[in-house]
A and B are shown apart, each in its own frame.
Chain A
Amino acid sequence: MTTTDGLLARTLRQEAGPLVARLSRRFGDFDLAEEAVQGAVVEALTRWRRDGPPDNPGAWLQVAATRNAMDGMRHRDRQRALAGRADPPSSEPADGTDERLALLFACCHPALAPEARLALTLRAVVGLTTPQIARAFLAHESTLAQRIVRAKRKIVSSGISLTVPAESELAERLGDVLAVVYVMFNEGFVSSTGPTQDRDLSADAVWLAGVVATSLPTEAEAWGLAALLTIQHARGRARFVAGDLVLLRDQDRRLWDHAAIAGGERMIERAASLGKPGPYQLQAAIAAVHAIGASWEETDWLQISLLYDELARWDPSPVVRLNQVVARSQVLGPLEALAGLEQLSGPLADYHLFHATRAELLTAVGRAAEAEAANRRALELTTNDAERRLLTTRLHRRPLDDGS
């Protein structure tokens, strides 16, 4: 990523969301505001790359977006109606944090289709363009554009307001928001090898999780998610060598961002002090134990195993139980773990990591022929190129609990 692109990404993160929120309040039209900011983002992408970034990137973006919104208004039939609805700009709050959070809650509203929430968040809150989102998700641009347009129309026509929900609704709605940020991170985390990636989705997600946590400082799970993503992201430089995925056990731990990991640990402590445990906090704690281990062998597996036991109580999904089995195998040995694994053979029949884990355990207990069959099955089921290369070149190594 060039310096200009890095600056652009940072500017859009900071400015796109507040701009959409401010313009939609000023003109009383979310759709118009969102289109105006997107137009400015596209202009910035071409002009900054060509001419270099302006002296004040934030102000540049604001001027461009406001001009687009005014133009858009002039071109609309309902010009007079819109102008009548425009609030005086003096009603704008000085601090951008709350309006960004309100916009995020609107984009993740349960009345919107789940597959539209992430796309709309990436566009309106984070400032990605539709082509960037389409590349990140390997989706057709036209399909994605349709989805975004439909979601925006629904926000406008069905009266979804750009506000942070009231206390009584907050906990439930926050779950939807955190889920979108979590999915956003994972999309970037899994596909971050692609040469077409012109924005680091994972870095955007870490940033957004931080915005949510600092805006809602007493929500323990918001801190839990921020901690989890921070720690996972800190391993970024060690996860790929020449485009190949490197397993956690084989990663060069000197490449990890240890300052970021320490920051993540402080967030976990902060979350824990609120006394409201939850699955993101537990996942963050697991990631932290991995991150402070000097090596794979010196990792505190008992601690990780206990944390997975607790996590499985919150989320007894087959994938969590698979990770629980992997952790237990480190504590109790492969034979015991294999017995636990067979119970998951039904629900995880088509999950490549189930078969890869099974192959590893079968190898450890000397059942080589079955292990090879399991490895072949894992390979058949892997869709990600980097993961497939990993399985191909290291057929007898195991993709780890958290994917790598």
Chain B
Amino acid sequence: MKYVLMYTSRPDLAANTDSEAAQAIYKRVYEWFGENAGVMADSGAELLGVETATTVKHDPAGAVVVDGPFNEAKEVIGGFSVIDVADMDAAIAIVKTWPMLDLPGVAVEIRPMVEDYSQFE
């Protein structure tokens, strides 16, 4: 299944991260894209409704998974990827390793992509 990952962050909180820590995380981000190159697909993305959203959020005790697209107005989407994996659990497992989740205010929204257009016929 294909999923679109939307990377969001809070600019007000991100501004508090010192530049050395930010550099270290960017380095890990590049590595992360390298490690996951095998499941990255690039294509036009059409998303299912917002009620299908699942969010993995920053938490001091480790990333947590919740229902819904709880993006607040303060959050911005910084970029997106399309991945092709077996199921939702596989998508969540990859997203949980997203290095930016170490930063407060960071969240990644996972949305399944429409692939079977026969349901709209």
Contact = CB atoms under 8 A, between A and B. Distances in A.
Interface of A: 77-78, 81, 109-114, 116, 150, 153-154, 157-161, 163, 165-166, 168-169
Given A78-B119, A169-B93, A158 B88 contact: yes
A40 B121 CA distance: 30
B48 interface: yes
A111 B65 contact: yes
B36 interface: no
Interface residues of B, number: 25
Contacts of B21: none
Contacts of B52: 153-154, 157-158
Contacts of B1: 159
Contacts of B68: 113
Nearest to B48: A157
A196 to B, nearest CB: 30
10 contacts: A110-B54, A111-B54, A111-B65, A112-B67, A113-B68, A158-B52, A159-B3, A165-B89, A166-B89, A169-B93
Q: Is the interface of A mostly helix, strand, loop or mixed?
A: loop
Nearest to B116: A81
A78 B112 contact: no
A157 B112 contact: yes
Given A111-B67, A157-B52, 17 more contacts: A77-B121, A110-B67, A111-B54, A111-B88, A114-B67, A153-B52, A154-B52, A158-B52, A158-B54, A158-B88, A159-B3, A159-B87, A159-B88, A159-B91, A161-B89, A166-B89, A168-B93
Interface string B69-91: 00000000000000000111101
Q: Is the interface of B mostly helix, strand, loop or mixed?
A: mixed
> Which of the listed residues B3, B88, B118, B121 has the most CB atoms from chain A within 10 Å of its own CB?
B88
Interface of B: 1, 3, 48, 51-52, 54, 64-68, 86-89, 91-93, 110-112, 116, 118-119, 121
Nearest to B111: A158
Contacts of A116: 67
A150 B51 contact: yes
> Which of the listed residues A111, A157, A160, A166 has the most CB atoms from chain B within 10 Å of its own CB?
A111
Given A113-B68, A157-B112, A163 B89 contact: yes
Nearest to A155: B88
A166 B65 CA distance: 16
A110 B111 CA distance: 15
Contacts of B118: 78, 81
Contacts of A113: 67-68
A165 B93 CA distance: 11
A159 B54 CA distance: 12
B93 A160 contact: no
Contacts of A114: 67
